[in-house]
Homo-oligomer: A and B are copies of this chain.
Amino acid sequence: MEDTITAIPAMLADDLRLHHVADVVEFLNALPDEEAAELIGRVAPERAVEILDQPEFYAAPEVLQLLPQAQAASLLTAMSADRAADIVHLLDAPVRASLLTRLDAETRASIEKLLVYPPATAGSIMTTEYVSVPSTWTVGQTLDYIRQVERTRETVYAIYVLDPQTRRLLQAVPLRRLISAAPDAPIMSAARPYPPIMTSPLTDREEVARLFRKYDLLAVPVVDSAGRVLGIVTVDDAIDAILAESTEDVQKFGGVTALEKPYMQIGFAQMVGKRAGWLCALFLSEMLTASAMQHFESELEKAIVLTLFIPLIMSSGGNSGSQATSLLIRSLALRELRLRDWWRVVMRELPTGIALGAILGIIGLLRITLWQKLGLYDYGEHWLLVAFTVAAALIGIVTFGSLSGSMLPFALQRLGFDPASASAPFVATLVDVTGLVIYFSVATIILRGSLL
């Protein structure tokens, strides 16, 4: 055996023991799966479990498939249940089936229970390794119990007090309050005067993360409809959920279907697929701009000078829309604003849009005047009217951009979608088509009798 692994110095396995597990994971992530599996097969089982328990160790399913099945099964048994379930979920079907049969009944049951919950719910990120005690116990009894089970629990900093008959959750007591309480005091005396914060297994992880933020928690119990604890979500999982959600938000805002893996780990075909869908949808909607321009064909032929400013004017509408959308997406996500506040936002965006449009309009007016007067370009005898057309169109388009950009997240939320599905390209497309219509309508009014 020793001979087959000379490629990896024995020293390295020792090193794995002497560094923080997160650094070990970073090191292992850079290795081919086979080498990572060999190393994990050689370290002490407790250390191997600690490594596999890290959600950042991407190759965990591959490594478990490479290890002898008996070893893989005993590692899975010792791992935290939520992470074990995540890994089992990613195993190839035949390996998964044969591994599950090798687990003891209890472990298999708790993993299978977790596999039931849809991804990105409280149930899918909770762990079943928490500390619970009956409400009849004293502080001292509880502390003794914690000493016994400490090593097998993901956190012991919150102790869940249950009704001894119904097993319903009564209170969550922080460990710090137990330490300073009298040992013979009843456990309920260390509890707070209000009910514990809890959540249900089907609650979205975004909502769960909000509980952590609002109540400054280290763990949240997940309870069934009868109030019995199914598991707990710990703060490190909440942080992972918050980051995953904000990555999703940025990607959606950029107009990409959210990726589940890091950029470099997505295959070419999948990458094209994740982007082509939205890009085609936007392209098809944007075709309306060609139709709009065909509609104004005669105006275009008479006044080619108008075409010069089409990209400038359209992009300003898209930019102001994308600004407004980004502001409102976050306000809605952080619950600073509710659906009912939409009218207050309209009354805010209307003057803001007019002011911003006026600023750009003045710049546009100055630009055309300057170029004309300096002889840099000849916009024709009606150049001043053209300049006013551009300025007036900018006010209209930027106002429309700000309004529609800010209302889009509200509309999506109202329709039951995630307000963060409002993407910058989507807003731009929305504003582009309308922007063209506004521009040519303004032109028809101002230039009638002169250019048109």
State the A residues within 8 Å of B (CB). 17-20, 22, 56, 143, 146-147, 150-151, 155-157, 175-177, 179-180, 192-194, 197, 212-216, 218, 235-236, 238-240, 242-243, 246-247, 249-251, 253-256, 259, 262-264, 268, 271-272, 275-276, 278-280, 282-284, 286-287, 289-290, 293-294, 297, 300-301, 304, 307-312, 314-316, 318-320, 322-331, 334, 336-337, 341, 344-345, 348, 351-352, 355-356, 359-360, 363-364, 367, 377, 398, 423-425, 428-429, 432, 436
Contact residues in B for A247 (Cβ distance below 8 Å): 330, 334
Chain B CB within 10 Å, residue with most, of A214, A323, A336:
A323
Chain B CB within 10 Å, residue with most, of A235, A250, A263:
A263
Measured CA separation A279–B176 after assembly (Å): 52
Measured CA separation A272–B328 after assembly (Å): 15
A67 to chain B, nearest CB (A): 24
Contact residues in B for A255 (Cβ distance below 8 Å): 319, 322-323, 326
Can you list the 6 inter-chain pairs with the closest CB atoms, starting with the nearest? A254-B326, A246-B246, A424-B424, A289-B311, A262-B336, A319-B425
Contact residues in B for A20 (Cβ distance below 8 Å): 192, 194, 197, 215
Q: A279-B356, A424-B425 are in contact. Are A215 and B315 (CB under 8 A)?
A: no
The 30 sampled A-B contact pairs (Cβ below 8 Å) are A18-B194, A146-B180, A151-B180, A157-B175, A179-B179, A212-B236, A213-B239, A218-B235, A243-B334, A247-B334, A250-B329, A251-B327, A254-B323, A263-B327, A263-B331, A263-B336, A263-B337, A279-B323, A282-B316, A283-B319, A283-B360, A283-B363, A287-B312, A290-B367, A293-B307, A294-B308, A300-B304, A304-B304, A310-B311, A322-B423
Measured CA separation A256–B364 after assembly (Å): 21
Majority SS at the chain A contact face: helix
Contact residues in B for A235 (Cβ distance below 8 Å): 218, 235, 239
Chain B, residue nearest A256 (CB): B323
Q: A253-B254, A424-B253 are in contact. Are A150 and B180 (CB under 8 A)?
A: yes
Chain B, residue nearest A354 (CB): B272
- Total copies of the chain: 2
Contact residues in B for A22 (Cβ distance below 8 Å): 214-216
A380 to chain B, nearest CB (A): 12
Partner of A356, one of B214, B249, B275, B293: B275
Flag if A287 contacts B367 (CB, 8 Å). Answer: yes
Flag if B280 contacts A363 (CB, 8 Å). Answer: yes
Contact residues in B for A250 (Cβ distance below 8 Å): 246, 249-250, 253, 326, 329-330
Chain B, residue nearest A377 (CB): B294
Chain B, residue nearest A151 (CB): B180
Measured CA separation A334–B294 after assembly (Å): 46
Chain B, residue nearest A150 (CB): B180
Contact residues in B for A286 (Cβ distance below 8 Å): 311-312, 315-316
Measured CA separation A93–B26 after assembly (Å): 48
Chain B, residue nearest A239 (CB): B213
Measured CA separation A71–B249 after assembly (Å): 44
Flag if B280 contacts A359 (CB, 8 Å). Answer: yes
Contact residues in B for A19 (Cβ distance below 8 Å): 194
Flag if B254 contacts A284 (CB, 8 Å). Answer: no
